[in-house]
Structure 1
Amino acid sequence: MFSSEPVLTLDNADIFQGQKLVLGDVSFQVHKGEFVYLIGRTGSGKSSLLKTLYADLWLQHGKGQVAGFTLNALKPRDVPQLRRKIGIVFQDFQLFFDRSVEDNLKFVLKATGWKDKTSMNNRIADVLMQVGLGTAQKKMPHQLSGGEQQRVVIARAMLNEPQILIADEPTGNLDPAVSDQIMKVFQAINNAGTAILMATHNYDLLHKYPARVLRCQDGQVIELKG
């Protein structure tokens, strides 16, 4: 059963990309431990919605709360704290290719205020085990397959034990077999209690791994009834 406490709430929110209104009057909640898909055509506003949730775009009208932060009252200095409470998984991995897997993860820990070396090493080992890459610490990203690189990205997103993971087309660059493996990683994370909001084009995943579905369509976000 999901916790009654929502980790994400939007209430009559208008989502802008620059001056352009892309989604109007958006209202929905995601509760702790819930898995929610966000679907819609290219250009329908999925990425703008996700960017608003992690404060890459500001929420100008309406109300929003993510992981205890009020988006409509957020100050620029609060953004790093907000991002510590949410994990973000991008389609294009955004790894540093000039440093090892371990150093990629260490960079994020240091940037988010971790100081103790032993604690950092233990946390890195934990998240890599979680995504099935326990032996990859010393490897460079170019030595890993696309699926393994995406696992590193998921591990990176889990470093600060986020309340919610926001994933933007996380299987977009991967073939079907690898997409399946990545979905199993997401399911394990979700089963352990982390909420997940995943934008995807891959409708096969919706059939294979059924969950709640929100669709961006005609400037609105509507819930599809199963």
Structure 2
Amino acid sequence: MVFSSDPVVSVSNASIFQGIHTVLSDLNFSIEKGEFVFLIGRTGSGKSSLLKTLYADLPLIMGDAYISGYQLNGITQKNIPFLRRKLGIVFQDFQLFPDRSVAENLHFVMRATGWKDKTKMKSRMIEVLMGVGLGGASNKFPHQLSGGEQQRVVIARALLNEPSILLADEPTGNLDPEVSDGIFKLFQEINKRGTAILMATHNYELLKKYPYRILKCENGRLLDSKTTKFQIGQDWAL
């Protein structure tokens, strides 16, 4: 199948499986360059499985999906690292190396994704840390940072390779409301600079406050606020 070169994500007639269990079926949606999209649904409804499929942690065995220039159906293990260089992935639980400084955490990712020039690496690290408000934190270790600061490091790490899209799985789930608001505003700033964002969230207040497009996992299907009217209530977050 040939997809438009415009969307950063395009999914057609796809189904997602965990083992033999169908998690989501008949997925048809796209995400345009620079678009901000919320991904919602009850726990276990398929949000994380969808994100894992998009960054090729779960294989796509039915349907077609394209993300950042890569076809996910049949992608080889050899090509997965190249795909992930074009994506930014932000996890709820940070996944920082506790025994390495902020700079060393970022350096590890840069080396793993093909960076070799030390001068360019240092310049890019400074640039992304400044961009998330942590210009003076390069020599600190994760335990010396607050939860919000650690999440900012994770976001900086995700931005190192100038991704076309950020995939964020509950990025404010473990943070208090004030810190969460600051992290979300940072995502908005990144989005305004042209990076598409797909953000899974249970934060109902964000949906009320910011009228972005919503994808909702429900009963094995994916509903899209762009094409389908559906109710959003606090019940889906329970």
Same fold (TM over 0.5): yes
For residue 97 of structure 2, what is the aligned residue in structure 1? 96
Per the TM alignment, residue 4 of structure 1 is displaced from its structure 2 partner at its CA by: 7.8
Percent of aligned pairs with the same residue? 67
Does the residue aligned with 1:88 lie in a helix, a strand or coil? strand
Distance, in Å, in 1 between the alignment partners of 2:190 and 2:83 is: 20
Distance, in Å, in 2 between the alignment partners of 1:119 and 1:207 is: 41
TM-score by length of 1: 0.97
Distance, in Å, in 2 between the alignment partners of 1:18 and 1:80 is: 23
In the alignment, is residue 135 of structure 1 matched against residue 136 of structure 2?
yes
Kindly provide the CA deviation profile for residues 37-78 of structure 1, in whole angstroms up to 9, marking residues without a partner as x: 000000000000000000000000000000000001311100
For residue 82 of structure 2, what is the aligned residue in structure 1? 81
For residue 165 of structure 2, what is the aligned residue in structure 1? 164
In the alignment, is residue 24 of structure 1 matched against residue 25 of structure 2?
yes
Does the residue aligned with 2:189 lie in a helix, a strand or coil? helix
For residue 49 of structure 1, what is the aligned residue in structure 2? 50
For residue 177 of structure 1, what is the aligned residue in structure 2? 178
Contact residue 88 and residue 163 of structure 2 kept, 8 A: yes
TM-score by length of 2: 0.92
Does the residue aligned with 2:49 lie in a helix, a strand or coil? helix
Runs of 4+ aligned structure 1 residues displaced above 6 Å come to none
Distance, in Å, in 1 between the alignment partners of 2:56 and 2:186 is: 26
In the alignment, is residue 105 of structure 1 matched against residue 102 of structure 2?
no
5+ residue gaps, structure 2, are 230-238
Kindly provide the CA deviation profile for residues 106-164 of structure 1, in whole angstroms up to 9, marking residues without a partner as x: 00000001001110000000100111111110111100000000000000000000000
Q: Residues 1-16 of structure 1 correspond to what in structure 2 (within 5 A)?
A: 5-16=6-17
Letter in 2 for 1:5: D
For residue 59 of structure 1, what is the aligned residue in structure 2? 60
Distance, in Å, in 1 between the alignment partners of 2:117 and 2:210 is: 39
Distance, in Å, in 2 between the alignment partners of 1:188 and 1:28 is: 24
Distance, in Å, in 1 between the alignment partners of 2:17 and 2:127 is: 38
Distance, in Å, in 1 between the alignment partners of 2:211 and 2:142 is: 32
In the alignment, is residue 37 of structure 1 matched against residue 38 of structure 2?
yes
Distance, in Å, in 2 between the alignment partners of 1:4 and 1:204 is: 34
Does the residue aligned with 2:27 lie in a helix, a strand or coil? strand
Per the TM alignment, residue 98 of structure 1 is displaced from its structure 2 partner at its CA by: 0.1
Contact residue 61 and residue 74 of structure 2 kept, 8 A: no
Contact residue 44 and residue 217 of structure 1 kept, 8 A: yes
| Number of residues of Structure 1 aligned to a counterpart in Structure 2 | 224
Cα RMSD after superposing both structures: 1.2
Contact residue 4 and residue 31 of structure 1 kept, 8 A: no
For residue 236 of structure 2, what is the aligned residue in structure 1? none
Q: Residues 142-221 of structure 1 correspond to what in structure 2 (within 5 A)?
A: 142-221=143-222
For residue 117 of structure 1, what is the aligned residue in structure 2? 118
